[in-house]
Structure 1
């Protein structure tokens, strides 16, 4: 699928994997709507790549719809990358046997709301806009890539909420791809492993910590780079025969319990 001259939306685009995907989409000739809650970083990236910034909290359908409308007004919306997400760690029960020490239920709901429901909300709204596009030679009107995580398969201790949310993204992949096929829209999921993003901090201590983490990767023994993930995202968007698939990009890692 040729996305040159089209618009694209990337959620969570102000940093990390989302920013790398936005840059690569822009390099292919798409006008990218940088959708994020981080205004300063989002506006800076949009200026850098010739895109536009949209303030988007993915738990707000109103803001999701505004971003989709903004993209569709620029050019036909043909590519969407759902990269927005959060991850807080908490054990399911505490050590003192008290109900109050169990996993905070509101925290669990919040992770699901952002990572899973927010992803689906953007999918359903963006795909609706894509369904109005003129099809290409293959009959394709657009493509969507959702970002899951290897935690969907190898969830660690404390990742109940995060793994649930990412497992939900994996689980929706095939049924949603089947739903959207009638409108000529493809949907795939990319599941990253350990990726070098700002979540690990900066400085010598952070670098040492990342190097230690990288030792658990099968090969190469390092953290992945956002651009390496973004290249797979772009492949899933542009390869016309990629559909309904979940692809791990993780250096062969299988996460241990902790």
Structure 2
């Protein structure tokens, strides 16, 4: 293991929703950089097998249940004596409705997982870090929908915007304890959730991940021919939890190929 892959030696990290997708790549990259990973997910078989493959451990965790998240934190303390990092990544998406037809049960479901799950994670991770005078790093996964309208359903947008506000607010409180709280905001990452959203939105249930990736690479960033990847998000998270980002807190790192910095209708056409 060379210096490039020693950034997190001795660190103990929890990744919620870490069994696959973006969370899986975050877990794998942090493990490769020396961290002991606790994967907290509802996917028991997939999560347990994956955790074993990266030298970590798995715990069943429904982040909407505070007791489940608390148990994940306690596992870190009992097995390793500390908690250095938590990545609040677990989330769900919905198929979206007009605000005039919004089903409040659906809104409550997204709030319970996407927002309350993050609240539970920050709350119990901060308690552990403060009690041990351990400092620490918390990264919350939000979305480009938190900063730009019209990218997702109202309920999903609501939860992701709230996560952004919560991370900034808790960064203010926890900074005195040396605990950093930051966000990452992915855009156009062809995850299973995003492919499902494209299928629902376009009415094409057989749409493939390759087709979605092609659409994103043409229309979903300023870097045409390139869409975001799980690895892009994982490397951004690795930076934020490392000492190289030791003076960064309350920040939202947008990983979008520049999409949210320009209007799709008003982008200037440059002459060659």
2:144·2:254 contact (CA, 8 Å) conserved in 1? Answer: yes
Higher relative contact order (CA 8 A, sep 6+): 1
Report the structure, 1 or 2, having the larger helix content: 2
Using the alignment, how far apart are the partners of 1:196 and 1:129 within structure 2? Answer: 34
Q: Is 1:242 paired with 2:245?
A: no
Q: Is 1:63 paired with 2:57?
A: no
Distance 1:194 1:87, change over 3 A: same
Q: Is 1:116 paired with 2:115?
A: yes
Q: Which residue of 1 aligns with 2:212?
A: 209
Using the alignment, how far apart are the partners of 1:27 and 1:206 within structure 2? Answer: 27
**Deviation at 1:158?**
5.7
Q: Provide structure 2 residue ranges, at least 5 long, that are not aligned to the other structure.
A: 1-5, 197-205, 266-272
Q: Is 1:159 paired with 2:153?
A: yes
Using the alignment, how far apart are the partners of 2:125 and 2:64 within structure 1? Answer: 15
Match of 2:186 among 169, 184, 192: 192
Using the alignment, how far apart are the partners of 2:235 and 2:224 within structure 1? Answer: 17
Q: Is 1:147 paired with 2:152?
A: no
2:70·2:120 contact (CA, 8 Å) conserved in 1? Answer: no
Q: Is 1:79 paired with 2:85?
A: yes
Using the alignment, how far apart are the partners of 2:264 and 2:108 within structure 1? Answer: 25
**Deviation at 1:165?**
0.3
Using the alignment, how far apart are the partners of 1:134 and 1:163 within structure 2? Answer: 35
Secondary structure at 1:218's aligned position in 2?
coil
Q: Is 1:174 paired with 2:179?
A: no
Using the alignment, how far apart are the partners of 1:157 and 1:119 within structure 2? Answer: 21
Using the alignment, how far apart are the partners of 1:158 and 1:121 within structure 2? Answer: 24
2:64·2:117 contact (CA, 8 Å) conserved in 1? Answer: yes
Distance 1:38 1:155, change over 3 A: farther
Q: Which residue of 2 aligns with 1:98?
A: none
Distance 1:152 1:204, change over 3 A: closer
Using the alignment, how far apart are the partners of 2:217 and 2:13 within structure 1? Answer: 32
1:119·1:146 contact (CA, 8 Å) conserved in 2? Answer: yes
Distance 1:175 1:157, change over 3 A: closer
**Deviation at 1:89?**
2.5
Secondary structure at 1:247's aligned position in 2?
strand
Match of 2:46 among 41, 47, 70: 41
Using the alignment, how far apart are the partners of 1:54 and 1:119 within structure 2? Answer: 17
Q: Provide structure 1 residue ranges, at least 5 long, that are not aligned to the other structure.
A: 95-101, 136-140
How many residues are treated as equivalent by the alignment? 244
**Deviation at 1:87?**
1.0
Cα offsets for 1:60-117 (capped at 9, x unmatched):
11111110000122222101101100110322346xxxxxxx1110101111111111
Q: Is 1:227 paired with 2:227?
A: no
Q: Which residue of 2 aligns with 1:132?
A: 131
Distance 1:172 1:256, change over 3 A: farther
1:91·1:157 contact (CA, 8 Å) conserved in 2? Answer: no
Secondary structure at 2:59's aligned position in 1?
strand
1:143·1:237 contact (CA, 8 Å) conserved in 2? Answer: yes
**Deviation at 1:182?**
1.9
Distance 1:158 1:230, change over 3 A: closer
